[in-house]
Chains A and B, each alone.
Chain A
Amino acid sequence: MNLSFSHSWLKDFLTTNANPEQIANCLSLCGPSVESLTKVSHDYIYEIEVTTNRVDCLSVMGIARELAVILPQFGFSARLKNDLYQPSGSLPVGKSFPLKVIVNHQLCPRFTAVVIKNVTVKPSPKNIQSRLELSGIRSLNNVIDISNYLMRAYGQPVHVFDLDKIKSKMILRSSKPKETITTLDGKTHILPGNDIVIEDGSARLIDLCGIMGGLNSSIDHQTKNVLLFVQTYNPANIRQTSMKLTQRTEAAVIFEKSPDPELVMPVILQGIEIFKKSTGGEPGSQIIDIYPNPTKPKLIFPPLQLIKERLGVDIPAEKVKKILSGLGFVNNKVPSWRNNDIAIPEDLVEEVARIYGYHNLPSRLMAGPIPTNYPDEKFDLEYQIKTLLVGLGLTEIYTNSLISESLAKQSGFKLTDHLKIKNALSQDWLYLRRSLIPSHLQALANNPQAKKLTFFEITHTYHPQPGQLPQEKLELIISTKDSYFHLKGIVDTLFTKLHLPVSASLTPATAVIDLKPILKTARLYPQYQPLSSHPSIIEDLTFTLPEKTYLGPVINTIKSTHRLIKSVKLSKIYQQNYTFAITYQTMSKDLSATNIAPIRKTIVSLLKTKFKAKLVGKL
Chain B
Amino acid sequence: MEDKVLNLKNQALALINEAEDKKELERLRIQYLGRKGEINQILTTIPQLKPDAKVQVGRLVNDVKIAIEQSLTARTKQLSAAPALAWFDPTAPGQSLPLGHLHLISQAIQEISQIFAHIGFTRVRYPEVDWDWYVFEALNMPEDHPARDEWETIFLDVSRHPRMGQMVLTTHTSNGQVREMERVKKPPIRMLNIGKCYRRQQDSTHTVMFHQFEGLVIDQGINIPHLKGTLDYFGSQFFGPKIKSRIRPFHFQFTEPSFEVDFTCTACQGKGCRFCKSGWVEVGGAGMVHPNVLKAGKIDPKVYSGFAFGWGVERVLRLKPGLNIDDIRLLYSDNLEFLNQF
Contacts and interface: CB of A to CB of B under 8 A. Distances in A.
Nearest to B221: A309
B102 A429 contact: no
A426 B125 CA distance: 28
Contacts of B81: none
A462 B196 CA distance: 13
Interface stretch (B2-10, B17-25, B61-69, B222-230): B222-230
What class of interface size applies to chain B in its complex with A?
A: 35 or more
Nearest to B187: A371
Interface string B209-253: 100000001011111111011111100000000000011111100
A401 B144 contact: no
A370 B201 CA distance: 38
A359 B190 CA distance: 24
A73 to B, nearest CB: 13
Given A33-B260, A377-B124, A396-B103, A364 B249 contact: no
A312 B223 CA distance: 7
B contacts with A: majority SS: mixed
Contacts of A311: 223-225
Contact of A365 (B208, B230, B305): B230
B334 A370 contact: no
A221 interface: no
Given A350-B257, A353-B257, A398-B331, A469 B103 contact: no
A319 B37 CA distance: 108
A364 B229 contact: yes
Contacts of A387: 102
A29 B248 contact: yes
B178 interface: no
Interface stretch (B41-49, B82-90, B154-162, B263-271): B154-162
B101 interface: yes
Interface in A477-520: none
B219 A366 contact: yes
Contacts of B158: 419, 464
A358 B248 CA distance: 7
B100 A453 contact: no
Contacts of B209: 400-402
B336 interface: yes
A390 B250 CA distance: 42
A364 B226 contact: yes
A420 B159 CA distance: 12
Contact of B334 (A346, A425, A443): A443
| Residue among A29, A30, A395, A432 having the largest count of chain B Cβ atoms under 10 Å | A395
Interface stretch (B52-60, B70-78, B115-123, B316-324): B115-123
24 contacts: A53-B251, A239-B146, A311-B224, A346-B291, A354-B257, A358-B259, A363-B229, A363-B231, A366-B222, A366-B226, A368-B188, A371-B120, A371-B187, A375-B122, A375-B183, A377-B125, A392-B100, A395-B340, A397-B339, A398-B105, A400-B332, A421-B156, A422-B156, A469-B131
Given A32-B249, A312-B225, A371-B189, 11 more contacts: A31-B249, A256-B146, A311-B224, A346-B291, A350-B257, A370-B190, A375-B122, A396-B100, A419-B156, A443-B334, A460-B196
